[in-house]
Structure 1
Amino acid sequence: MQAPLPYHLTSGDCAAANLRAAGLPGTIHVWHDVLYEGTHEPGWPCAETLCLRARMLEEHTGGGVSFQKALKTLRNQYADLRAAADRSIVLWFDACLFDQTMLVHLLACLRDHPAGSVSQICIDSAPGLTRYNGLGELPPSSFAAHYPLRVPVTPAMFSFATEADTAFGHHDGAALRRLANLSEAPLPHVPPAAARRLLEFPDPETGLGRLEQLVLQAIDQGVTKPTALFRAVADLDTPPQYWGDTTLWHIVNGLALRRPPLVHIGGPTPRLPQWPGQHDYDDYVIERVR
């Protein structure tokens, strides 16, 4: 009997498209969640946790993804993962916070519900790219070249992933600091990801996280249009960039909702749309409130 085809899992649509173009055997799947936002218990989620995650995604996207749509997506992807138990599961991720929180969560889930075999490929650099931010920047040929280099996930990796999933899911500062201070780890990109997550905790003096500070810094430098602000904040941040436009607009809107507000948003709506297709971002202006 022929062995089941591999089950490839990655974090973004661009990476998935290039994985398909690479012509690798198996099926390609994208995991949809923002696991550095909201809370979750480690490992396989219960029904209540799925509802909490769906509410978080609805809020994070400003209603662009409804609760019902998010809940259906979450239920389906966990069901698909469980159904792949007899297949070889290959996890494709990069070193950023977004991907590492997803990687450790999936490994914690697969520790709860083991698969036939699990391997991972974490690509943290790319030839010719001085500022490499993630898998979406890689050509299909790079995926094909890395596939033979996949690493089997060991019991130590599964155990460490559950520890990390707990720390990220609970936003546990002490646990994240322990992870960030590790000089060696079974999953070597988790400590830097934990360190980056800690930077988003409110600063004791300003009450702002790192990304909020960078937004204000860019606005103070004269950047007022959302698309230009995205580029400016990306340039100010340290790669790998873990956030996308939805997260950044969520941050900007949060700054406008502070009391007193730190920014003013002028445009067709009082807040920036947090999901594409609602309004033209060039119609908005973001200014500091002094």
Structure 2
Amino acid sequence: MLHIVNGDSVAHTLQQGIVQGDILVWRELYPHGPNSLESTRGNRFARAQYLEQTLGIPHAEFVRNSKAQKKLLEDFHSYEEIVLWFEHDLFDQTMLAYLLHWFSGQSLSNTKLSLLEIGDFPGIEPFRGLGQLNVEQLATLAGTWRPIGAKELALGESFWQAYASPDPSLLQRLLEQDTSALPYAREAFQLHLSRFPSTFNGLGIVEQTTLEMVHTAAQSPFELFQETGNKLHALGMADLEYWYILRKLSHGPFPLLQVQGLGAFPTYMESAASLRDCKVVLTELGEKVMNGEEDWLTLNGINEWYGGVHLLGNSPRWRWDANMRRMKHED
């Protein structure tokens, strides 16, 4: 039996006698950086380059890990059953969609696919993920997985195709269909669309939420990450992603935030302890943008990836209309 899980913490706990068989930690961060349908060498290198530039993840390490986990995945026929362990948030749902997409293109033969996914757990509030559970709690989930059938495979494939497409309207249309075969996908991918720059002021939901929290009370970056993560828990946002967002908001010719007492934001494998002593405050422009009096993209421009969508320049083709809860295409 092979268990594919979302992180080292879950893997370590499962190894405490909870499950039998091998464990594969799927190390990816699909909500950040370029994604594509074709898993080519060129696409892998482009993704590795982006992750190194924005998060500090070493290019060689990413490529090496991608090759290694793909090789293990391609050996799936040696297992009688493969169990996917994932949560409700976007971080996990993108991994689940990718894996279902990949398996949908394989001849499974006698290998059985199963799925365990949860969005809450008794006594854990707020529930952020499987990594919060101890040995006894995680053990209660062992054996409760359900078979993955044709509906799950087809829907997972559709979600990945839509997510990795350069046209976000494909995902919008998919969310209007029956997605009950994957019960947590709708909320996660709907929240993904709200990460796009808004028609209101050019900010996505993470940036807008951050400005509103700073406006209420100046806080340290560490506190902001905790509170934003709790409010937008369905994103499953990693700290490196958030430091990157704070860096964008506080740097450049049009900063919306000022981080007082900061040397530099931590990158991959660096401690974030120093951020506890910093203080984040709104700039005058930040308050105007927060209230919709200025548009940040018109001033600052953008060069970001959202799934398979690359937004570039001061007038990006796609924006999120929060009132209509729909993507808006701008010519």
TM-score, normalised to structure 1, is 0.88
Q: Look up the equivalent residue of 1:100 and give its one-letter code.
A: Q
Q: Take 2:93 and 2:206, find their aligned partners in 1: how far apart are those partners? A: 18
Distance 1:163 1:184, change over 3 A: closer
Could you list the runs of 4 or more consecutive aligned residues of structure 1 that deviate by over 6 angstroms after TM superposition?
Answer: none
User: Paired residue for 2:72?
Assistant: 80
Distance 1:241 1:41, change over 3 A: closer
User: Paired residue for 2:84?
Assistant: 91
Deviates more, 1:75-84 or 1:96-105: 75-84
Q: What secondary structure sits across from 1:91 in the alignment?
A: strand
Q: Take 1:124 and 1:171, find their aligned partners in 2: how far apart are those partners? A: 29
Residue number among 192, 195, 202 corresponding to 2:190 in the alignment: 195
Alpha-carbon contact 2:88-2:119 (below 8 Å) kept: yes
Q: Take 2:100 and 2:39, find their aligned partners in 1: how far apart are those partners? A: 13
- CA displacement, residues 31-53 of structure 1 (integer Å, 9 cap, x when unaligned): 111112223223x6121121122
Quick one: percent identity of the two aligned structures? 25
RMSD: 2.0
Matches within 5 A, 1:218-257: 218-235=213-230, 237-257=231-251
Does residue 103 of the first structure (1) align with residue 96 of the second (2)?
A: yes
- CA displacement, residues 198-231 of structure 1 (integer Å, 9 cap, x when unaligned): 1101110210010111111121122331212222
Structure with the larger strand share: 2
Does residue 174 of the first structure (1) align with residue 169 of the second (2)?
A: yes
Does residue 156 of the first structure (1) align with residue 151 of the second (2)?
A: yes
User: Paired residue for 2:15?
Assistant: 20
Alpha-carbon contact 2:18-2:142 (below 8 Å) kept: no
Q: Take 1:39 and 1:200, find their aligned partners in 2: how far apart are those partners? A: 15
Q: Look up the equivalent residue of 2:143 and give its one-letter code.
A: P
Instruction: Return the offset for 1:196.
Output: 0.7
- CA displacement, residues 40-85 of structure 1 (integer Å, 9 cap, x when unaligned): 223x612112112212321342x2x211111111111111111233
Instruction: Return the offset for 1:96.
Output: 0.5
User: Paired residue for 1:208?
Assistant: 203
Instruction: Return the offset for 1:286.
Output: 2.6
Alpha-carbon contact 1:179-1:194 (below 8 Å) kept: no
Alpha-carbon contact 1:60-1:246 (below 8 Å) kept: no
Distance 1:23 1:33, change over 3 A: same
Q: Look up the equivalent residue of 1:226 and give its one-letter code.
A: P
Instruction: Return the offset for 1:283.
Output: 4.5
Instruction: Return the offset for 1:179.
Output: 3.0
Distance 1:258 1:186, change over 3 A: farther
TM-score, normalised to structure 2, is 0.78
User: Paired residue for 1:37?
Assistant: 32
User: Paired residue for 1:51?
Assistant: 45
* Structure 1 unaligned regions, length at least 5: 1-5
Q: Take 2:77 and 2:34, find their aligned partners in 1: how far apart are those partners? A: 26
Q: Take 1:8 and 1:108, find their aligned partners in 2: how far apart are those partners? A: 17
Instruction: Return the offset for 1:163.
Output: 1.1
Count of equivalent residues: 280
* Structure 2 unaligned regions, length at least 5: 285-331
Q: Look up the equivalent residue of 1:86 and give its one-letter code.
A: S
Matches within 5 A, 1:104-123: 104-115=97-108, 116-123=111-118
Does residue 71 of the first structure (1) align with residue 71 of the second (2)?
A: no
Q: Take 1:268 and 1:212, find their aligned partners in 2: how far apart are those partners? A: 19
Alpha-carbon contact 2:223-2:276 (below 8 Å) kept: no
Distance 1:40 1:281, change over 3 A: same
Q: Take 1:147 and 1:126, find their aligned partners in 2: how far apart are those partners? A: 14
